[in-house]
Structure 1
């Protein structure tokens, strides 16, 4: 759990913009291709506006639906969806305990909050889907770490 909190603390942008979303989204797509990973990715603002999304052949609508649930979780809880999974498992909590529905929310990896270094406000969410959820999360963290040149 502490490692996940540390990731959220360290992996922040200097100044996240729509243009930065495009650059980072393309970086994620190229890294997935280079590493031979089949994964859908999306970058969304807190209001739900999709700034970047790519669903390569072999992924599709089901992955978009998973990413929507992960997005809802991150924006509501202000934590990565994997951190919420770990909290849920540790304290025997699920989405329903928080007054949420399984149709709209999911406690599993693959949603990571976008923050700037100077603020704790969640600006949006970076999402991934198609791998086991812990690997979806790891892909996002690996991309952020490399892109931002931050070692964990």
Structure 2
């Protein structure tokens, strides 16, 4: 493993350790989703945003310019996050560092899962992962950044 890969894995793990919610309900999903949408609008991003608890969608927003493909990316990204309880960016980096692709060889069906960044677990203190926040429409790194920065902002301003 290179130093750059190791540093990136450390950074992604730090995101998950840092960004833990004290609680999370439907109102939080609406406020967080709206915050992400406002960040995306301010930055001029054509993205789709989704917050879900397994098959229950708590928030959905599709901004102008986003395509129908974002629906599939969101479904697959959020399925991956909810299954492994980690961000898709962390999983992608971790599997790549081991030179292993779980979507090949029959473990994870590529039609149902992806390792593209942009889905992040909603982890509640003393409860675990209760939902996935997903953005799609940018690069994997930029989708991840959009979600992480908004969650950080939300936890700092709304729940403080």
TM-score by length of 1: 0.91
Q: 1:89 to 1:123 in 2, by over 3 A?
A: same
Q: Which has the higher strand share?
A: 2
Aligned positions of 1:21-60 closer than 5 A: 21-45=29-53, 47-60=54-67
Deviation at 1:35, TM superposition (A): 2.1
Structure with bigger gyration radius:
2
Aligned positions of 1:94-133 closer than 5 A: 94-95=101-102, 96=104, 99-119=107-127, 121-133=128-140
Unpaired segments ≥5 residues, structure 1 = none
Aligned length: 148
Q: In the alignment, what sits opposite 2:5?
A: none
**Distance across 2 between alignment mates of 1:58 and 1:15:** 33
**Distance across 1 between alignment mates of 2:52 and 2:132:** 5
Q: In the alignment, what sits opposite 1:140?
A: 147
State the Cα deviation string for residues 79-106 of structure 1 (Å, max 9, x = none): 1101110011100111235711111111
TM-score by length of 2: 0.87
Q: Is 20-29 or 55-64 further displaced after alignment?
A: 55-64
Q: Does 1:92 align with 2:83?
A: no
Unpaired segments ≥5 residues, structure 2 = 1-8
**Distance across 2 between alignment mates of 1:9 and 1:98:** 31
Q: 1:51 to 1:87 in 2, by over 3 A?
A: same
Q: In the alignment, what sits opposite 1:78?
A: 85
**Distance across 2 between alignment mates of 1:60 and 1:20:** 26
Q: 1:97 to 1:115 in 2, by over 3 A?
A: farther
Q: In the alignment, what sits opposite 1:2?
A: 10
Task: Pick from 16, 20, 25 the counterpart of residue 17 of structure 1.
Answer: 25
